[in-house]
Amino acid sequence: MSVQFTYGAKGHEAEAIVRFISRGELQGEGSEPAKWVHPQLDEALRGHFERELFKAEPKETLSLPTLGLLPAAYVIYVGVAHSGLTVDGLRDAAAAAAKAARRLKVATVAQQLPIAVCTGSMEYTVSQAAQAMTEGYSLGLFTRKTEKQNDEKRYASVQAVSFIPAEDASGYPEAAEQWEAGIRRGVVFAEAVKYARDLTNLPGNKLTPELLAEEAEELARTYSLDCEVLDEWTAAEQGMGGLLGVGQGSVNPPRMIVLHYQGAPEDKEVWGLIGKGITFDTGGISLKKAEGMEEMISDMGGAAAVLGAMRIIGETRPAVNVVAVIPSAENMPSDRALKPGDVLKTMNGLTIEVVNTDAEGRLVLADGLTTAIRRGATKLVDVATLTGAVMVALGNVATGAVSNDEALQQQVILASKRAGERIWPLPAYPEFRKQLDSDAADMKNSGGRLGGTITGGLFIGAFAEEKPWVHLDIGGTAWLERERSWESKGATGVMVRTLGELLV
């Protein structure tokens, strides 16, 4: 079903040939005719460039029929940066090529590789280039699964991509092995992202907390991970007042989902990954407005990111220990729902005055962090569609971070740079914490509008019990109104690859 990737001089019989091209190459005044793909086609490319019909801007494509000049039916030229092509630029260019190929309805693509991409550059290693280009093709071809678009239809276009090494790369025999390793990693990472997107795109009636738990159990079976699912009765025994409070308004009961992976039994460090798993967020009694509420099917995007990361871990079996925790509930208004003014007691004993039932993510995550710590986590990363405010601050461009540990935060940000996913740290000044002071309990669950992403993060941090902790607010990045390069419209699967780069 998914695209086949190969590396090597084969693949020349593909239906389309892809060649990256920069403005610099096109401006070259060389007197001899260029040979990028074929003299006549290259001349046509130059003509388009000279008349400014194709400017070789990054991600811009020019598709030309080969009219019998080559065995391939089409050539696709893809603009890339004039100087300093980066691994992000390669991922973008590959996604642009994939979409151009899909528009041409070709099944097979031969991607010619620039020499630097075959042998590595200042900017990237060979396997990083291979991984990024594989991710770009694979993710760029993703479309949402719906009733109308089943798997057969949505993967009907490009079936195979072969990466063709530059001729002058023959003096670098290690390249093949590194390319193959990069492709393998790229496939694992991309498939995990697509898995997370599919989960996140499921509507609320197709994905309840119970069904999300079954999904996690299925994943655990596939990769021989340990899985615990705590139902509402067990959660009550363990004092998970935050999770139960949020879930109590719905006929679909909440679940606390825990996955364990032990890849380094001698190591005392255990990563705790906690993902917000609100399968639908109406806001509860503090009801959201109707417009756009359907997007709240994506309020389990953090849970999907964590499950996607566990899939990467299951595939690659790295030498790390992980406990993944997904507190899952449906946030509904009803006669038995949580009300503003209610006071809850969380699993670690802190009491919370609920001033806004729409600030539900932090309530379930509070018990999520405690669950991870009780099961041995020594450092914590939570991923959550926590606030709308993060969109005001960072748009849909960057994920916001709040942390109590500069070193861990830097480690996560470095991983995100390898993944090409943006994370921006927000200041966690102590003044913000005061906005959560309550007369009725230890804390209230909303600090108001000012600094909403930071106060939301700091609420969660109050449950970190002094362990290094990073909170990633994907409220702006988990869902897109329109596609953008390798990110699809709807669920993006953001943070799957960042967590993958962090742990694998």
Q: Residue 281, annotated ligand binder?
A: yes
Shortest distance, position 360 Cβ to ligand BES, whole Å: 5
- String of contacts with ligand BES for each residue 275-314, x by CB under 6 A: ------x-----------------x---------------
Q: CB atoms < 10 A from the CB of 260, how many?
A: 17
Cα angle vertex 189, ends 185, 192, to 5°?
A: 140
Under rule CB under 6 A, residue 330 binds ligand BES = no
**Between residue 380 and residue 409, which ones bind ligand BES under the rule CB under 6 A?**
385, 387-389
Coil, strand or helix at 476: coil
CA atoms of 13 and 465, how far apart (whole Å): 60
Give the residue from 281, 227, 275, 447 showing the smallest Cα distance to 353: 447
**Between residue 250 and residue 279, which ones bind Zn ion under the rule CB under 5 A?**
278
Selected from 18, 44, 90, 359, the binder of ligand BES by CB under 6 A is: 359
Give DSSP secondary structure letters for 230-279. Answer: E-HHHHHHTT-HHHHHHHTTSSS--EEEEEEEES-TT----EEEEE-EEE
Under rule CB under 5 A, residue 487 binds Mn ion = no
Which residue carries 């130059």 as its tokens?
46
117 vs 212 by CB, closer to Mn ion: 212
Residue nearest to Zn ion (CB): 281
295 vs 483 by CB, closer to Mn ion: 295
Under rule CB under 5 A, residue 281 binds Mn ion = yes
Q: How far is CA 44 from CA 28, 38, 75, in A?
A: 15, 10, 11
Active site (catalytic) residues = 288, 362
Token pair of 324 as six digits: 């993944």
Under rule CB under 5 A, residue 361 binds Zn ion = yes
| Chosen from ligand BES, Mn ion, Zn ion, none, partner binding at 109 (C-beta under 5 to 8 Å by type) | none
**Between residue 413 and residue 452, which ones bind ligand BES under the rule CB under 6 A?**
446, 452
Under rule CB under 6 A, residue 342 binds ligand BES = no
Give DSSP secondary structure letters for 18-56. Answer: EEEEEHHHHH---SSPP-SS-HHHHHHHHHHHHTTS---
- Which of these ranges, 163-171, 317-325, 355-363, 482-490, lies near ligand BES under the rule CB under 6 A? 355-363
**Between residue 253 and residue 282, which ones bind ligand BES under the rule CB under 6 A?**
281
Query: Any residues with CB less than 8 A from the CB of 205 and at least 6 apart, and which?
Result: none
Torsion over CA: 11, 12, 17, 23 (sign): positive
Residues making up the binding site: 276, 281, 299, 358, 360
Which residues here bind Zn ion, judged by CB under 5 A?
Answer: 278, 281, 299, 361
